[in-house]
Copies of this chain bind each other. A is one copy, B any other.
Amino acid sequence: MLGIVYITAGNMKNASQIARELVSKRLAACVNMFPVSSVYRWKEEIEEDNEIAMFVKTDSSRFEEITKLVKSLHTYEMPAIEFWGIEGEKEYLDWVHVNSSGEETKK
């Protein structure tokens, strides 16, 4: 199934690094990134931070590989890595499928 992996990163430098690795390793066809203001609970305190949200367009069969790569590059102990399935326009979905086949190519 095709879908979106939703990740939040601490800054754009880390987000872009992760995004480029995912795309060059064909773990994702495309990544859309945008700044967010976050409110969350961490060790019993309410925290506020600026983060970068990431929409990673990929195939659900890549999820384990994506999780491994994100954890290896991410600056957090426990990054947010979520997934939901999508349908969509056929030609575009075929492009996502082909470009998230998992075979690495030269950067």
Q: Top 6 nearest A-B pairs by Cβ distance?
A: A30-B40, A82-B88, A81-B89, A32-B36, A19-B39, A82-B86
CB–CB A6/B53 < 8 A: no
> Chain A residues in contact with chain B, CB under 8 A?
4, 6, 8, 12, 16, 19-20, 23-24, 26, 29-41, 44, 46, 48, 51, 53, 55, 57, 67, 78-89, 91-93, 95, 99, 105, 107
Q: How many copies does the complex hold?
A: 3
For the complex, give the distance between the alpha carbons of A97 and B47 in Å: 18
A24 neighbours in B (Cβ, 8 Å): 41, 46
Indicate if the CB atoms of A86 and B6 lie closer than 8 Å.
yes
Contacts of A93 in B (CB 8 A): 82
CB-CB under 8 A from A86, the residues of chain B are 6, 82-84
Given the complex, which residues of B lie within 8 Å of A95, measured CB to CB? 78
Nearest CB of B to A29, in Å: 6
Q: Which residues of B contact A79 (CB under 8 A)?
A: 89, 92
Chain B residue nearest to A106 in the complex (CB): B44
